[in-house]
């Protein structure tokens, strides 16, 4: 999972994990634990959290489990880490970018959330510009999911989209298309490398 803070990515990851019984590995609680253990915020705790989640995900993947990684993944280097993990463990990788097309709802979600993450401060709306630009420059293959709407319905559609074992369209030059052709989907498959 990738997307700006407050778009609903963790809610979607957790709901998908509950439905499928796939473990959800979230970077934010790991970073909060590092800070809570006394590692200073001047240290690269964000990078350390990504590396810890990578190691845990690798272990679970080698046990044959499917894993959901919940992280902003705005930087190309962060996404490259998951590509490398998939290659090392010889598993299929599906990036899912979560967006919130309703700007006011996104802002409200971010400003209203009160996660119990101890020493990890919540990002402010004004701090999202750099991450937003990084995500807008992302041109790799992924599903894009608009989190506006009923969470259970979104999870149901996502399960259907992830479940078919058919061939991947990754790498094709096809333009972004709705994952469902009936126009009811809030998902788009971006297939350009």
DSSP conformation letters of 102-133: -HHHHHHHHHH-----TT-PPPPGGGGHHHHH
Torsion sign (Cα): 190, 170, 98, 137: negative
Q: CATH for 9-190?
A: 3.40.50.300
Per-residue model confidence as pLDDT tens for the chain (193 residues): 999 888 889 999 999 999 999 999 999 889 888 888 888 877 878 899 999 999 999 999 999 999 999 999 888 899 999 999 999 999 999 999 998 888 898 888 877 777 676 666 676 767 777 777 777 778 888 888 898 888 999 999 899 888 754 443 333 333 334 443 333 444 454 443 3
């Amino acid at each position: 999972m990738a997307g700006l803070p407050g778009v609903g990515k963790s809610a979607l990851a957790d709901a998908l994990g509950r439905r499928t019984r796939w473990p959800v590995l979230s970077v934010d609680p790991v970073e909060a634990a590092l800070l809570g253990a006394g590692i200073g915020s001047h240290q690269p705790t964000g990078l350390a959290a990504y590396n810890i989640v990578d190691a845990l995900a690798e272990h679970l993947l080698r046990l044959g489990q499917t894993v959901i990684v919940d992280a902003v993944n705005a930087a190309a280097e962060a996404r490259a880490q998951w590509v490398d993990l998939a290659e090392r463990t010889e598993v299929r990788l599906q990036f899912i970018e979560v967006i919130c097309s309703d700007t006011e709802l996104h802002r409200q979600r971010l400003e209203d959330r009160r996660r119990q993450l101890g020493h990890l401060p919540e990002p402010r709306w004004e701090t999202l510009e750099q991450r937003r630009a990084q995500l807008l420059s992302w041109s790799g293959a992924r599903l894009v999911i608009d989190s506006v709407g009923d969470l259970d319905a979104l999870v149901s559609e996502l399960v259907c989209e992830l479940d078919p074992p058919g061939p991947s369209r990754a790498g094709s030059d096809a333009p972004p298309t709705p994952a469902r052709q009936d126009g009811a989907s809030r998902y788009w498959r971006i297939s350009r490398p």
